[in-house]
Structure 1
Amino acid sequence: MNSSFIQPDDLLNSIDFDYVKIIDCRYNLEDKSKGLRLYKNSHIQKAIFFDLEEDVSGPTQQNGIGGRHPLPSKEKWEKTLSEHGIRNEDHIIIYDSGELAYAARCSWLFQFYGHKKVQILVGGFTSWKEKGFPVTDQMERTKVSTYQAEPRLEWIVTMDEVKEISNGEKEGILLDSRAEDRYKGIVEPMDRIPGHIKGAVNVPWMLAVKDGTLDEPDNLKKLFRDIPKNQQIVVYCGSGVTAIPNVYALASIGYNNVRLYPGSYSDWVSDYSNEVEKNES
């Protein structure tokens, strides 16, 4: 699940190849329609818009079970990609506004479902525009394809597996990727109850990112220096989106047993019997 990045200059030089497919996945958690508005106003040539909630997530369930952004089913993902004319052999390049989290979620999802050639645009759309590269407001017309997905289920864990680690029944590290104040339970703007999964440690995802890409390896090694490499690392956030930069960061510095809890904290607190800790000091 190693991340791969492409510089804007390299995308510009390869943009006209038929096998290059570009995904615009800009999004704003506070203004859910902003990404589509931005796309309609201007986007990179050939880009197809993927919405976090409509395309890069599955439907939410009653009482929050599965979390706020559950993974789309294999069938839904195949349907989405086929409708957009994406083929298994295509080279996928994904961008967001430059924060990395949304592009990383989309990139990880492509890889989770078996796609081989996936890259994230360094610096996102912001970097592309700063370089003065061409943009358009024209929608990309695509032909329907037949996409076949092969999920890598070993990349994810269920709530039950997280419970085993949290209760000390199974070895593993629970890594909370949210901001420190949410981890400590000082604030909680989105989910039912503030705090974190019992036993989890905190490394905010923003600390692993610099200039729209992962930070330098030496800095990442310092950031994760207290996380052992000889145990399974289960990474979570609020809903399985901003955890992905940490998943990629850990993999980039040699952590080989890293898995995502897709439902994350929003799934965890949907079960009232699950223990939540706070550390408000």
Structure 2
Amino acid sequence: MSNLIAAAEAAERLGRPDAVFADVRFVLGEPEAGQAAYVRGHIPGAVFFDLNKDLSGPKETHGGGHPLPAMDEFARKLGEAGIDAGTEVIVYDDQGGSIAARLWWMLKHAGHERVRLLAEGFSAWRDAGFPVTAEPPRPIARTFVPRVDDRLRATVADVRAGLERRDRVVLVDSRIPRRYTGEDATKYAKAGHIPGAINRYWEDGSPGGVFLGAEAQWERFEGIPADRDIIVYCGAGVTACPNVLALTEAGYPNVRLYVGSWSDWISYEDNPIAKGEE
């Protein structure tokens, strides 16, 4: 089954007790903007998840800018939102899937298979005339029991080991090219990329805010053998997620998210850094 769902098909799920829409709109640099937009209007019945409050844990010395929350806390919030093992979850944002894909990945990591990304995003949904409401949802609480799949997650130790196994491991940097090359040194304390990583900017997978399908995503990653262990990272473990989804949709079977990403990598003084094109 595809990890994507079109608006017309998603609309058929409205009102179904076994389907939950999850609104994950978030504007980096404007942390309250996503929830404010949700309050003004959202897909009927949609519950809201905040990137900072619900999909991230406390920052520490290591772990990056958006470490994962405790799994029991995440599971509790999923249950309160009406999500359990039998629920189909449709995630959406208005940022090309960049934030919604984080929830998609977290649900997969928690062992939940029935989750798909609304390919067109919220604005396209609204502009196409599908229902929008400001009425708060009334989810029926359920119990979400996580079945953590750590095969989907890479640690800093995994990345270090990958540097010694470049014949088997491919590192994919999802950031905008100028940050990958190190030309833009404004966001983090150190500029550049993890040595050996190739650059595939995440936004190229959702031009105009519409997430591309399997064939187009395969073309984006042309040249990466399908049997490789692929580790994907970005700046802080969020915008790598759409590339993880894209690679999975394209049929790559061994894709992992380096949750800490660049912000975790540079927190270790001895980790090597490369600049320029690979």
Q: TM-score, normalised to structure 2's length?
A: 0.93
Report the 3-state secondary structure (helix = DSSP H, G, I; strand = E; otherwise coil) of the residue aligned with 2:99: helix
**What residue in structure 1 maps to residue 16 of structure 2?**
17
The residue type equivalent to 1:99 in the other structure is G
**What residue in structure 2 maps to residue 128 of structure 1?**
125
Report the 3-state secondary structure (helix = DSSP H, G, I; strand = E; otherwise coil) of the residue aligned with 1:14: coil
Counterpart check, 1:179 vs 2:179: no
Counterpart check, 1:53 vs 2:52: yes
The residue type equivalent to 2:247 in the other structure is L
**What residue in structure 2 maps to residue 160 of structure 1?**
157
The residue type equivalent to 2:43 in the other structure is I
Are 2:233 and 2:262, in contact at CA under 8 Å, matched by a contact in 1? yes
Counterpart check, 1:261 vs 2:255: no
Cα deviation digits, residues 49-77 of structure 1 (max 9, x gap)? 1001111122211x3x1111112222111
Counterpart check, 1:248 vs 2:224: no
Residue 12 of structure 1 and its aligned partner are, at CA, apart by 2.2
Change (3 A) 1:33 1:3: farther
Counterpart check, 1:208 vs 2:193: no
Report the 3-state secondary structure (helix = DSSP H, G, I; strand = E; otherwise coil) of the residue aligned with 1:21: strand
Cα deviation digits, residues 204-223 of structure 1 (max 9, x gap)? 11122235444244433332
Report the 3-state secondary structure (helix = DSSP H, G, I; strand = E; otherwise coil) of the residue aligned with 1:259: strand
Cα deviation digits, residues 100-137 of structure 1 (max 9, x gap)? 11111111111111112111112111111111222111
Flag as ranges the 4+ runs of structure 1 deviating above 4 A.
167-170
- Alpha-carbon distance between aligned partners in 1 of 2:4 and 2:215, rounded to the nearest angstrom: 18
Report the 3-state secondary structure (helix = DSSP H, G, I; strand = E; otherwise coil) of the residue aligned with 2:139: coil
The residue type equivalent to 1:272 in the other structure is E
Uncovered stretches (5+) of structure 1, i.e. residues with no partner: none
Residue 141 of structure 1 and its aligned partner are, at CA, apart by 2.2
The residue type equivalent to 1:37 in the other structure is A
Aligned length: 278
- Alpha-carbon distance between aligned partners in 2 of 1:41 and 1:143, rounded to the nearest angstrom: 22
Change (3 A) 1:254 1:241: same
**What residue in structure 1 maps to residue 36 of structure 2?**
37
Are 1:98 and 1:122, in contact at CA under 8 Å, matched by a contact in 2? no
The residue type equivalent to 2:135 in the other structure is Q
Change (3 A) 1:7 1:220: closer
Change (3 A) 1:169 1:230: closer
Change (3 A) 1:254 1:239: same
**What residue in structure 1 maps to residue 273 of structure 2?**
276
1:75-90 aligned at under 5 Å gives the runs 75-90=72-87
Residue 196 of structure 1 and its aligned partner are, at CA, apart by 0.5
**What residue in structure 2 maps to residue 26 of structure 1?**
25
Report the 3-state secondary structure (helix = DSSP H, G, I; strand = E; otherwise coil) of the residue aligned with 2:117: strand
Counterpart check, 1:94 vs 2:91: yes
Change (3 A) 1:87 1:254: closer
The residue type equivalent to 2:5 in the other structure is I
Q: Which stretch shifts more, 45-54 or 209-218? A: 209-218
Counterpart check, 1:190 vs 2:197: no
Report the 3-state secondary structure (helix = DSSP H, G, I; strand = E; otherwise coil) of the residue aligned with 1:53: coil
- Alpha-carbon distance between aligned partners in 2 of 1:202 and 1:213, rounded to the nearest angstrom: 21
> Which of 136, 139, 144 is 2:141 aligned to?
144
Query: Percent of aligned pairs with the same residue?
Result: 36
Are 2:85 and 2:112, in contact at CA under 8 Å, matched by a contact in 1? yes
Cα deviation digits, residues 76-116 of structure 1 (max 9, x gap)? 11111122232221111111015111111111111111112
